[in-house]
Amino acid sequence: MSKKGYFTELYVGGKSLLVGLGVTFKACLQPIVTVQYPREKLDITPNYRGHIELRRDPESGECPCIVCGMCARACPSGCITVEGEKKEGEKGKTLTVFALDFTRCSLCGTCVETCPKGAIDFSQDYNIAGFTREEFHYDLIRRLEERG
C-alpha cells in the first residue's frame, strides 16, 4: 500500500468514526425512549390477546355460554374443559365447569372465534408469574364471579 493510500484511509476512517460518535452524542440530548418498568407502565392496547376469560352479556348481565363445547373441540391444544348440567325449570344446560389450562394455551384465538354466543373474550392480563403449574389452571367461572 502506498503512503498516500495509507493516510487517505486513516483520514476517511477517522472521520467516519467521528461522524458515528456525533450520532451517539446527538442521541444523548434527545428524550428518553425507554420506560422505567416496573415503576412506570405503558397502557396496553384493548385488542391485546391475553388468556381467555368468560364475559357477561352487557344486557342481561349473565354469561351467555350454552355449554355447546365447540370452543373445547376447536382448541388445537385441548386446554379447555367445559361441563354443564340440566337444571329444573331452565332452558338448555347451565355451565358448571369452565377450566382453562393456560400452560398449554398458544393464544391463537380459535376458541373466541368459534364461540357462537360470544361468551369468551381475551383478558388483558400480561403480568403473570407463578411457581407451580397448577397456578395456571384457571377456573374461569370463579374468575368471572370475582370480577363481579
Partner 1 sequence: MSEAQAPLHHRFHLNMGPQHPSTHGVLRVILEMDGEYVLNPQPVLGYGHRMQEKMAEARAWPGFYPNTARMDYAGALHYNHGYCALIERLAGIEVPPRAEYIRVITSELNRIASHLLWYGALLLDLGAFTPILYTFDDREQILDILEDITGSRLTYCYFRAGGVSRDIDDKFVERTRAFITRLRSRFPMLEKLVNGNVIFLKRVEGVGIIDKDMCQRYGATGPVARGAGVPYDVRRAEPYSVYPEFDFEIPVGENGDSLDRFLVRFKEMEQSLRIIEQALDRLPDGPVMAKVPKKLKLSPGDVSFAVEAARGELTYYLISDGTEVPYRMRIRVPSYSNLSVLPELCHGMLLSDLVAAMGSLDLVIPEIDR
Cell for 66? 350454552
Phi (first) and psi of residue 144, to 5 degrees: -65, -40
Query: Which residue of 50, 110, 121, 136 would you call a contact of ligand SF4, by CB under 6 A?
Result: 110
Query: Which residue of 55, 65, 140, 144 would you call a contact of ligand SF4, by CB under 6 A?
Result: 65
Q: Which residues contact 93 (CB under 8 A, 6 or more apart)?
A: 66, 67, 84, 85, 86, 87
* Residue 89 buriedness (CB in 10 A; 0-12 / 13-18 / 19+): exposed
* Residue 115 binds ligand SF4, judged by CB under 6 A: yes
Query: Which residue of 106, 125, 128, 145 would you call a contact of ligand SF4, by CB under 6 A?
Result: 106
Query: Which residue of 1, 12, 28, 29 would you call a contact of partner 1, by CB under 8 A?
Result: 12
- Size of the residue set binding partner 1 (CB under 8 A): 29
* Residue 119 binds ligand SF4, judged by CB under 6 A: yes
| Bridge partners of residue 81, in order along the sequence | 99
Nearest to 120 by CA among 66, 77, 76: 66
Taking CB under 6 A as the binding criterion, the range among 23-31, 38-46, 103-111, 134-142 that sits at the site for ligand SF4 is: 103-111
- C-beta neighbour count of 84 within 10 angstroms: 17
Q: Which residues bind ligand SF4 (CB under 6 A)?
A: 52, 65-71, 75-77, 79-80, 82, 105-111, 114-115, 117, 119-120
